[in-house]
Amino acid sequence: MTTISQTAGRSLRPSSSSGFFGKLVTAAYVLFDRLERRSAVKTLNELDDRALRDIGINRSQIEDAVYGQFKTELTRYL
């Protein structure tokens, strides 16, 4: 005999509206995302201008590229 669990098909990740735990998980995701982006900005700032030009950005476009605020002249390289 086969039984089907009531939780089958439901996501194990809590939704953002599931109370305190959901808000805590969401805050952790936001924090890790911010730390990852800060690390990417730092890494790109350590590159020389030639390396940045090779990937299609200049030094003034680093934060825009990392934070997803692409300018039209930047998107033509992607």
Domains held by the chain: number: 1
- Taking the C-alpha atoms of residue 78 and residue 63, their distance in angstroms, rounded to an integer, is 16
Residue 54 has a pLDDT of 95
* pLDDT for the residue 1: 46
The pLDDT value given to residue 2? 47
Q: Is the CB of residue 75 less than 8 Å from the CB of residue 58?
A: no
Rounded to the nearest 5 degrees, what angle is found at the Cα of 75, between the Cα atoms of 70 and 76? 160
Please indicate, yes or no, if residue 2 is contained in any of the structural domains: no
Residue 68 within any structural domain of the chain: yes
- List the pLDDT tens digit at each of the 78 positions of the chain: 444 545 455 555 555 457 999 999 999 999 999 999 999 999 999 999 999 999 999 999 999 999 887 655 555 555
Residue 62 within any structural domain of the chain: yes
> What is the model's pLDDT at position 30?
94
Residue 7 belongs to some domain of the structure: no
Range of the structural domain that residue 42 is part of: 17-75
68 vs 42, 64, 72, CA distance in Å? 16, 6, 12
| Whole-angstrom distance, CA of residue 3 vs CA of residue 6 | 9
Alpha-carbon gap, residue 27 to 33, rounded angstroms: 10
Q: Decide if 70 is inside a domain.
A: yes
